């Protein structure tokens, strides 16, 4: 049944009384790269009661007013409590609760902290979860979201002017001001992720739903896609052997967004049958961008990440 959360027990964790190590996923990327959209679908699929979900934005040292006096942007690690983030990730990895700081994006204020109890899965998104070695060492799977820059700017304008109370001019000025810190600190995380997801339009098809290119690096065991990539789905997705930016061989999964919806749905179904829970349908949150926006490439990305979480929990 669609929408049913995915049931799985951590092997060895049940009934032993021992605190199990959670499976930990990092979703890194620049502002408005799609982190919350991806993560929220995965949390909804697993069930919020089984996930601790936090953002590295909560570890900002300054509120919005204080930041105005700073020479750096919130993309700079110095504006974050990075050692505390590392500490909290380490504690969560050890099955301990933490009292997590809270940054309220609406008000721009730091508010009272929240207790984050250990759960089976810990999902951390944010600007800088992969910035330091100690933080990276806590994760089982790391993802970097790398949408085409004009797409990201469009997403950021839309979000910050609607839910965060900024004017378009303020957002554009902020994007310009942040560029240097984005280059120095956010984008280098791309090279440290196990999976890189790039949403972009295909050249020559402006206005069509976005496609995704998903780099699957050999830094973790990646799923064997051979059984899924049959002739039936070949118009929707295919795997290419490519060279990573550093020259290393890497698998690159292309998922086309411009195909007819029924073809996209068939590919999503094939992925789910191979890597999801065969006893339930595709989670209804997968692929959902907004109340009436759907993306098959997003759903396929989420199935891949969910697969890694479930594998890590075995």
CB of 140 vs a second copy, minimal distance in Å:
23
Scanning residues 117 to 146, which ones bind a second copy (CB under 8 A)?
A: none
18 binds a second copy, rule: CB under 8 A: no
- Looking at the Cβ atoms of 81 and 159, the one nearer to a second copy is 81
Give the residue, chosen from 34, 101, 283, 297, that forms a contact with a second copy under the rule CB under 8 A. 101
| Residue among 61 and 269 whose Cβ is closer to a second copy | 61
Q: How far is the CB of 10 from a second copy (least distance, A)?
A: 22
Tell me: does residue 112 bind a second copy (CB under 8 A): yes
> Is the CB of 90 or the CB of 164 nearer to a second copy?
90
Q: Could you tell me which residues come within 8 angstroms of residue 32 by beta carbon, excluding any fewer than 6 positions away? A: 152, 155, 156, 159, 160
Question: Does residue number 98 form part of the binding site for a second copy (CB under 8 A)?
Answer: yes
Question: How many residues contact a second copy, by CB under 8 A?
Answer: 18
Name which position in 7, 9, 19, 109 contacts a second copy (CB under 8 A).
109
Q: Which of residues 52-71 bind a second copy (CB under 8 A)?
A: 61, 63
- Among 110, 130, 141, 237, the residue binding a second copy under the rule CB under 8 A is 110
Nearest alpha carbon to residue 283 among 53, 34, 121, 41: 41
Closest distance to a second copy from the beta carbon of 56 (Å):
13
Q: Which is nearer to a second copy, 7 or 109 (CB)?
A: 109
Q: Yes or no: say if 100 and 114 are a contact pair by the CB < 8 Å rule.
A: yes
Structural contact between residues 80 and 61, judged by C-beta atoms closer than 8 angstroms: yes
115 binds a second copy (CB under 8 A): yes
Angle (CA) 218-302-187 rounded to 5° is 60
To a second copy, the closest distance from the beta carbon of 111 in angstroms equals 7
In the bound state with a second copy, the residue whose beta carbon lies nearer, of 69 and 226, is: 69
Residues with Cβ within 8 Å of residue 56, at least 6 apart in sequence: 80, 85, 124, 125, 126, 127, 128, 129
Among 111, 167, 230, 234, binds a second copy (CB under 8 A): 111
Task: Looking at residues 275 to 294 of the shown chain, list those that interact with a second copy (rule: CB under 8 A).
Answer: none
Interface characters, 75-94, with a second copy (x: CB under 8 A): ------x-xx--x---x---
At its nearest, how many Å lie between a second copy and the CB of residue 9? 25
Binding part of the chain for a second copy, among 18-26, 103-111, 128-136, 276-284 by CB under 8 A, reads 103-111
Give least dist CB 108 to a second copy, A: 12
CA–CA separation, 266 and 304 (whole Å): 16
269/264 Cα distance (integer angstroms):
9
Among residues 2, 99, 177, 218, the one that binds a second copy under rule CB under 8 A: 99
Q: Residue numbers of the site for a second copy (CB under 8 A)?
A: 61, 63, 81, 83-84, 87, 91, 96-99, 101, 109-113, 115
């Amino acid at each position: 049944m669609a929408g049913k959360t995915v049931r799985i027990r951590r092997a060895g964790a049940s009934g032993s009384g021992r605190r199990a190590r959670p499976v930990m996923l990092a979703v890194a990327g620049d502002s408005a790269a799609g982190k919350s959209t991806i993560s929220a679908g995965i949390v909804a699929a697993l069930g919020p009661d089984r996930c601790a979900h936090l953002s590295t934005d909560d570890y900002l040292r300054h509120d919005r007013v204080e930041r105005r006096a700073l020479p750096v942007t919130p993309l700079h690690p110095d504006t974050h409590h990075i050692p505390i983030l590392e500490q909290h990730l380490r504690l969560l990895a050890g099955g301990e609760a933490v009292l997590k700081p809270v940054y309220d994006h609406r008000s721009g204020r730091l508010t009272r902290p929240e207790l984050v109890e250990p759960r089976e899965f810990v999902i951390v998104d944010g600007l800088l979860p992969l910035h330091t070695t100690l933080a990276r060492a806590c994760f089982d799977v790391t993802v970097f979201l790398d949408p085409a820059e004009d797409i990201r700017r469009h997403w950021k304008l839309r979000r910050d002017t609607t839910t965060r109370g900024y004017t378009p001019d303020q957002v554009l000025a902020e994007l310009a001001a942040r560029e240097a810190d984005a280059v120095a600190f956010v984008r280098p995380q791309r090279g440290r992720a196990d999976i890189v997801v790039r949403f972009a339009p295909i050249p020559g098809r402006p206005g069509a739903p976005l496609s995704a290119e998903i780099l699957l690096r050999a830094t973790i065991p990646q799923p064997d896609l051979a059984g899924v990539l049959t002739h039936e789905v070949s118009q929707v997705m295919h795997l290419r052997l490519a060279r990573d930016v550093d020259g290393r061989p890497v698998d690159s999964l292309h998922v086309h967004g411009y195909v007819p919806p029924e073809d996209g749905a068939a590919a999503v179904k094939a992925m789910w049958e191979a890597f999801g829970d065969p006893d339930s349908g595709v989670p209804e949150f997968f692929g959902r961008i907004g109340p009436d926006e759907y993306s098959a490439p997003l759903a396929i990305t989420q199935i891949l990440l969910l697969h890694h979480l479930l594998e890590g929990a075995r």
